[in-house]
Structure 1
């Protein structure tokens, strides 16, 4: 049992509001988020993707 005993790092590119449609069940998504977000720290990172640095969209070459 991991809950309240150790750390979990989870990243997602979907906002929490979309999790109900992703799991096809709002009740299940709410239960999962409730467990994950209890005692959690949420960081929202915005800005340009570092992975796209130096990416040339015209030729596909770096």
Structure 2
């Protein structure tokens, strides 16, 4: 499972910190957590091609 939110933000995101704590407790019990920092490869590619930030026309 992946998320761009930190564990501390899940309570606010779900609107119930106790529920978020219980969910995270069960999800993370036997998990390996890998924190990845840095710029997004997808965003970098969009910026390279000029697709990021340009208004869409239909």
The two structures share one fold, judged by TM-score above 0.5: yes
Q: After TM superposition, where is structure 1 displaced by more than 2 Å over at least 4 residues in a row?
A: 55-60
Superposition pairs of residues 19-30 of structure 1, within 5 angstroms: 19-30=10-21
> What TM-score do the two structures reach when normalised by structure 2?
0.75
Structure 1 unaligned residues grouped into runs of 5+: 1-9
List alignment gaps of at least 5 residues for structure 2. none
Task: Report the counterpart of residue 33 of structure 1 in structure 2.
Answer: 24
Normalized per residue, the structure richer in helix is 2
What is the aligned residue count?
Answer: 51
Counterpart check, 1:14 vs 2:8: no
CA distance in 2, matches of 1:29, 1:40: 16
* SS class of match (2:36): coil
d(CA) in 2 for partners of 1:23, 1:43: 22
